[in-house]
Structure 1
């Protein structure tokens, strides 16, 4: 491998790492979804899954929460993380909405 190719690869890896870290920080700074948010209301989002109206959302079952949903883009131990249902916003790990899909 010649020197210019090696330099290019090393620089590319550094830039990619910086972008990845910046993106993660941007997600960490994203606003949290409020239950009053129109999308949250449409999806029945509750920051605390134990407060879901089971009559209105019969699909809800105890133990379901954002932290174990396939859409949750964080670790189950993260208090908040991004969710594609709420573009650019974070949901509570202990939250729930009607788009819940058990992580496989």
Structure 2
């Protein structure tokens, strides 16, 4: 019967560990970007969007609760991604327009 020599040098162990530490954030970042890109935009005609009077363009709303200048980009529930669309806590797994608005709007800090 043949025996294998499973001895790993300390130097080789540290090299593999360093590669692993570098790979974890890179892989995590790629996965997060893919998940964000895969998210669908909120459909204005969906039940939830209609119940909250969501619109992709805040300037077109005539809802009585609308405050001039309010939009998703300056809402506390919106996560700014630096683009025109981003995630919102009210619509999990979907993206809302930064220039959009709904009745769940909360003044951001």
TM-score by length of 1: 0.79
Aligned to 1:78: 83
Question: What are the superposed Cα offsets for residues 55-104 of structure 1, whole Å, 9 maximum, x if unpaired?
Answer: 3xx2x1111111111211124x4111111211111000000011111220
Tell me the number of residue pairs that the alignment of Structure 1 and Structure 2 aligns. Answer: 99
Counterparts in 2 of 1:6 and 1:64: CA distance versus 1, 3 Å:
farther
Cα displacement (A) at 1:17 = 2.9
Match of 1:35 in 2: 44
The structural deviation recorded for 1:39 is 1.2
RMSD after superposition = 2.0
Give unmatched runs, 5+ long, in structure 1: none
Q: Which runs of 5+ in 2 are unaligned?
A: 1-9
**Bigger CA radius of gyration:** 2
Equivalent residues of 1:35, 1:45 under 8 A apart: yes
Q: Is the 8 A contact 1:28 1:81 kept in 2?
A: no
Deviation at 1:12, TM superposition (A): 3.2
Question: In proportion to residue count, which structure has more strand?
Answer: 2
